[in-house]
């Protein structure tokens, strides 16, 4: 799930096949996040399900500066647990 500030229009532009299983992606509004004319806060809440044999495997969620993402951020977590990490991105005109 991606969380964005109120009054921000967001969409998924591209994604891979998700290990052949796909993804369940949603975008929701979070009134605690801020937006200006040039940048906005974005938070990713990631859950990677796993069977018993894959339980507690390490998962890294990261935002990498790339011209759109302005602030590097990452967090380690484990399968079958929520991992939350936010950043600031450039706002498209």
Q: What is the pLDDT of residue 21?
A: 77
Within 8 A by CB and 6+ apart from 48, the residues are 57, 59, 79, 80, 83
Name which of 41, 47, 82, 83 is nearest 74 in CA terms.
Answer: 83
Task: Please tell me the distance from the alpha carbon of residue 31 to that of residue 77, in angstroms, as a whole number.
Answer: 25
pTM assigned to the model: 0.86
Confidence class of residue 72 from pLDDT cuts 50, 70 and 90? Answer: very high
Q: Enter the tokens of residue 73.
A: 């951020």
Is pLDDT above 90 for 53?
A: no
Q: Are 37 and 59 in contact (CB under 8 A)?
A: no
Is pLDDT above 80 for 18?
A: no
């Amino acid at each position: 799930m991606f969380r964005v500030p109120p009054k921000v229009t967001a969409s998924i532009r591209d994604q891979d096949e998700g290990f052949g299983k796909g993804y369940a992606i949603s975008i929701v509004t979070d009134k605690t996040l801020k937006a200006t004319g040039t940048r906005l806060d974005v938070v990713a809440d990631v859950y990677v399900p796993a069977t018993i044999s894959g339980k507690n495997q390490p998962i890294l969620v990261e935002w990498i500066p790339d011209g759109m993402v302005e602030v590097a951020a990452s967090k380690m977590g484990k399968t079958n647990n929520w991992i939350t990490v936010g950043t600031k991105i450039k706002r498209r005109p």
